[in-house]
Amino acid sequence: MTATEEPLRYRWQRGDRRYYEARLQRDLFGWVIVRIWGRVGSRLGQVRTVPVDNYREGEAVVAEIARRRAARRYCLVAGQRTSLQWGPQDAGFGREGPGEGVGRRPPACAPAEATQAIGRARRATR
């Protein structure tokens, strides 16, 4: 893995109820996109893992996910490149137990912020 091929992790929220997370990470067989979504404060949610052929294709998929999240009025609340590898202990990221997420609101999201996030994601795929 080169310095430019670091795992990606982005998290979007809509209001204080719904969240969506996309990760580009390596597994034993290559690069995969991990999508996690659900309701804040609930232990119920969904996880879907989709293999991609290479890192560049994964970045393109993440950029498409960012475009769709912005179209559905989700706000980007966390986005990062990280050299850390995520393990099974991170599978519950964003899934607070009953009462733990109450009263915590995501930052307000202006349309300009969402547009900038999409632009950064698209530039990353070039």
Question: How does DSSP classify residue 11?
Answer: E
Contacts of residue 38, defined as CB under 8 A and 6 or more positions apart, other chains included, come to: 18, 19, 44, 45, 46, 94, 95
Query: What average pLDDT score do residues 20-26 get?
Result: 95
For 52-96, write each residue's pLDDT tens digit: 999 999 999 999 999 999 999 999 988 755 443 433 334 344 444
Is it the case that residue 37 has pLDDT exceeding 90? yes
Mean pLDDT computed over every residue of the chain: 75
